[in-house]
Amino acid sequence: MANLLIVEDDVLANESVCEYLQDMGHIVFSAYDGEQALELFNSKEIDLVVLDIMLPQINGLNVLKKIRQASSIPILMLTAMDDMDTQIMSFDNLADDYVTKPFSIVLLGKRITALLRRIGKTEPANIWSYKDIIVDFSGFSAEKAGKLIDISPKEVQLLKILVDHTGVVLTRDQILDSIWGTDVPLNDRTIDTYIGRLRKKLGLDCIVTVKGIGYKFEAVR
């Protein structure tokens, strides 16, 4: 997909954003202060930056200015500062978008996808609909009755595998290998948990449990 630089000094926030974006298929580099961010930017081929404003060493606005001296790649500002002056200052320094904390990681993912789409760094849209559900398999997002659903990339991948094999029974092992690969030590119950989440979040009545084997997708329109 794309090479992303995540600059956030809060370790847990940084790790959760990076994990989510990696699940979306991106290559992610993380920095925890302004100096580290500029070092990574200058040494890696970066397609997009998610940049916090309140950073140690060099603050985010100064990092933004330095990056803009060398590149026009999309930069999304991520900060707890929601005052108008800070937002205006970010856009005056040529930021492309601005997200305030606390934020929905799903919405952040959609904004990143939208920015990447502008520079041709996303796959063509792969939209699937069922009743009042719309899922963007390439953008890893979903809506139900017009409302954005808090869904993870792994849940989207699971649904896509089932939809791509409509009417075919897939074993839990087949699903595990397709999504996580053979090197990740997970058990069969992991799939049961993810199926339960999909059913609850999207209200799907088309994922059928085949006792003792696995699951299959049966579309009933």
pLDDT (tens digit, 9 = 90+) per residue, 201-215?
999 888 999 998 999
Q: What are the pLDDT digits (tens) for 65-90?
A: 999 999 999 999 988 877 788 888 88
Six token digits for residue 92:
């005056």
Residues 104 and 154 reside in one and the same domain: no
Residues 106 and 135 reside in one and the same domain: no
Reduced to 3 states, what is the DSSP secondary structure of residue 57? coil
Domain of 152: which CATH number? Answer: 1.10.10.10
Last residue within a domain, chosen from 118, 139, 165: 118
Residues 157 and 191 reside in one and the same domain: yes
Reduced to 3 states, what is the DSSP secondary structure of residue 134? strand
Domain count for the chain, please give it: 2
Looking up tokens 């808090």 gives 150
Residues 75 and 28 reside in one and the same domain: yes
110: domain range?
Answer: 3-118
Count Cβ atoms within 10 A of the Cβ of residue 55 and give its class: 0-12 exposed, 13-18 middle, 19 or more buried: buried
Last residue within a domain, chosen from 118, 139, 157: 118
Residues 7 and 114 reside in one and the same domain: yes
Q: What are the pLDDT digits (tens) for 81-116?
A: 777 888 888 888 889 999 988 888 988 998 999 999
Whole-angstrom distance, CA of residue 201 vs CA of residue 156: 11
Residues 21 and 107 reside in one and the same domain: yes
Residues 88 and 191 reside in one and the same domain: no
pTM: 0.73
Helices (H), 24-171: 34-43, 60-68, 84-92, 105-118, 153-164
Whole-angstrom distance, CA of residue 171 vs CA of residue 202: 22
Reduced to 3 states, what is the DSSP secondary structure of residue 165? coil
